[in-house]
A and B are shown apart, each in its own frame.
Chain A
């Protein structure tokens, strides 16, 4: 059973940003289930407290630290707290992000604030977290960074400029980290989640249950966790700068072969 043992995470301390809901919570719970202690970092204390309760129910420790990942001071304070409480950081999951800033707009209608706000949340946040965590990983002799990108980071989507730019940036940031720290035993890899509506009925309806996705369905939260566990574990030690895409086959052939994705309506312009 040696191979299955390498997929266990007992004794590891893992920071998950954006762990208060959705994908972040799903990954935090899967990592805890594999044996890790979790630091749930996100802006809304009530949500990460709820994640912490769920982690405790799995018999693992979880520290819910309210963090504004768009502020490097807030990120630095969070990382200092983790080191004080747990003494180490084995894995960092940069999951915090969001597409809403400036979307559904043509490029000429996007304001400076929308663009910068989106970059702060989606890519600067990952930089701040890596900058704060990597020195601890280096002094421990290694670590793993898991960055969350998006299908939009590979194939742009209509009127979604900021997110497409930031998530593509995340991919090459990850590759740069991998290249620079590989010889010091830090692995940086990506998870690309496709459509995961988290059982939200409005999202399910918008995405039409995933009928245009080659596999004919949307993603389930419980499928994301194992990818994160694999990348956090020793089983993926030779994977570096690479990606696991969970998206039902769309990227293999474009979205066209099995139907058309719905297109978001454009706001604030007449075309």
Chain B
């Protein structure tokens, strides 16, 4: 092991959902570690587009190459084009991070089928499409790292969270299944189980945030950088024997729920 064992120089990464604070922190950390990074939206809104533009400027400020890309990542064709553009402009694709996150809470009886499908589309169908598209490029290289960021609710239920919990749990088991499927291709597929992270989804609710702080053993919310550091470890060459795993970064939350 050399001192810069975790360095990612010469690698090319794609972060989908880089519009949110966690996705952008991951993109920035990967760039800090030396990777070139593409930052993509999950859905084509003006707000998400502005966020990924801001994120790519941070990547460029670190001296790394990459571009921002606006797409509807629930669309199979657009995801294929994104992966093609990444490989065409950066020469390869070594690391895929799925950071999209659509928070949703509503009593199940009041949730419409349209809402249910939308939550599953953004949270679960996007990683399915991006994993599938990226694995093609990675298989040709004989190596790759896929990192899906999931919520604590992927493993625990929450009242009024049926759609979100189902989608997040789906991402966890998608991770395990494709990890096995691609195990002999040099592609590892892992998840980061993110605790309650400042600036994300449900955390906009100040009352909930205060309530949670009493329950989180570490007595603080996760910072996006906590998640990003784990992504750098998983993206490194040092994790070829780690696959199909969830690394939980939750301030000890899972020890008590």
Q: Which of B193-211 contact A (CB under 8 A)?
A: 195
Q: Flag if A214 contacts B243 (CB, 8 Å).
A: yes
Q: A244-B242, A251-B245 are in contact. Are A225 and B7 (CB under 8 A)?
A: no
Q: A182-B219, A214-B180, A242-B254 are in contact. Are A219 and B7 (CB under 8 A)?
A: no
Which of A226, A229, A243, A247 lies at the interface centre, i.e. has the most chain B CB atoms within 10 A of its CB? Answer: A226
Q: Flag if B245 contacts A245 (CB, 8 Å).
A: yes
Q: A179-B217, A238-B223 are in contact. Are A226 and B245 (CB under 8 A)?
A: no
Q: Flag if B32 contacts A238 (CB, 8 Å).
A: no
Q: Flag if A219 contacts B241 (CB, 8 Å).
A: yes
Whether, in the assembled complex, A202 has its beta carbon less than 8 Å from a beta carbon of chain B, the answer is no
Whether, in the assembled complex, A257 has its beta carbon less than 8 Å from a beta carbon of chain B, the answer is yes
In the docked arrangement, what's the CA distance between A182 and B4, Å? 29
B248 contacts which chain A residues (CB < 8 A)?
A: 239, 242
Q: Flag if A240 contacts B218 (CB, 8 Å).
A: yes
In the docked arrangement, what's the CA distance between A247 and B183, Å? 12
Q: Which of A149-203 contact B (CB under 8 A)?
A: 175-176, 178-179, 182-183, 194
In the docked arrangement, what's the CA distance between A216 and B233, Å? 22
Shortest CB–CB separation between residue A99 and chain B, in angstroms? Answer: 20
A235 contacts which chain B residues (CB < 8 A)?
A: 229-230, 232-233
Tell which of B232, B240, B252 touches A223, judged by Cβ atoms closer than 8 Å: B240
Tell me the nearest residue of chain A to B219, going by C-beta: A183
Q: Mark interface residues in A222-262 (1 if CB within 8 Å of B CB, else 0).
A: 11011101100001111111111111110111000110000
B76 contacts which chain A residues (CB < 8 A)?
A: none
Q: A223-B238, A223-B239 are in contact. Are A176 and B29 (CB under 8 A)?
A: no
Q: Flag if A238 contacts B218 (CB, 8 Å).
A: yes
B236 contacts which chain A residues (CB < 8 A)?
A: 226
Q: Flag if A226 contacts B184 (CB, 8 Å).
A: no
Q: Flag if B244 contacts A7 (CB, 8 Å).
A: no
Q: Flag if A34 contacts B252 (CB, 8 Å).
A: no
A257 contacts which chain B residues (CB < 8 A)?
A: 180
Shortest CB–CB separation between residue A187 and chain B, in angstroms? Answer: 8
Q: Flag if A240 contacts B255 (CB, 8 Å).
A: yes
A243 contacts which chain B residues (CB < 8 A)?
A: 247
In the docked arrangement, what's the CA distance between A223 and B242, Å? 9
Which of A34, A223, A247, A252 lies at the interface centre, i.e. has the most chain B CB atoms within 10 A of its CB? Answer: A252
In the docked arrangement, what's the CA distance between A29 and B3, Å? 11
Q: Flag if B238 contacts A226 (CB, 8 Å).
A: yes
Whether, in the assembled complex, A269 has its beta carbon less than 8 Å from a beta carbon of chain B, the answer is no
Q: Which of B129-183 contact A (CB under 8 A)?
A: 175-177, 179-180, 183
In the docked arrangement, what's the CA distance between A253 and B174, Å? 11
Shortest CB–CB separation between residue B27 and chain A, in angstroms? Answer: 12
Whether, in the assembled complex, B33 has its beta carbon less than 8 Å from a beta carbon of chain A, the answer is yes
In the docked arrangement, what's the CA distance between A258 and B244, Å? 14
Tell which of A217, A230, A258 touches B233, judged by Cβ atoms closer than 8 Å: A230
Q: Flag if A240 contacts B217 (CB, 8 Å).
A: yes
Q: Which of A27-64 contact B (CB under 8 A)?
A: 29-30, 33-35
Whether, in the assembled complex, B249 has its beta carbon less than 8 Å from a beta carbon of chain A, the answer is yes
Tell me the nearest residue of chain A to B31, going by C-beta: A3
Q: Flag if A253 contacts B244 (CB, 8 Å).
A: yes
Tell me the nearest residue of chain B to A192, going by C-beta: B245
Tell which of A179, A215, A216, A258 touches B256, judged by Cβ atoms closer than 8 Å: A179
B175 contacts which chain A residues (CB < 8 A)?
A: 252
Tell which of B226, B240, B242 touches A238, judged by Cβ atoms closer than 8 Å: B226
Q: A183-B218, A242-B249, A258-B183 are in contact. Are A1 and B244 (CB under 8 A)?
A: no
A229 contacts which chain B residues (CB < 8 A)?
A: 1, 5
Which of B7, B177, B228, B242 lies at the interface centre, i.e. has the most chain A CB atoms within 10 A of its CB? Answer: B242
Q: Flag if A248 contacts B241 (CB, 8 Å).
A: yes
Whether, in the assembled complex, A105 has its beta carbon less than 8 Å from a beta carbon of chain B, the answer is no
Tell me the nearest residue of chain A to B248, going by C-beta: A242
A8 contacts which chain B residues (CB < 8 A)?
A: 3
Q: What are 21 contact pairs spanning A and B, CB under 8 A?
A: A2-B32, A4-B32, A6-B229, A179-B252, A179-B256, A183-B217, A194-B241, A214-B179, A214-B183, A215-B188, A222-B238, A225-B1, A230-B6, A235-B233, A238-B222, A240-B255, A246-B242, A247-B242, A248-B243, A252-B179, A258-B183
Given A235-B230, A241-B217, 15 extra CB contacts under 8 A: A4-B6, A4-B7, A6-B229, A175-B255, A194-B241, A223-B238, A223-B240, A223-B241, A230-B6, A236-B230, A236-B249, A237-B226, A238-B249, A246-B239, A247-B241
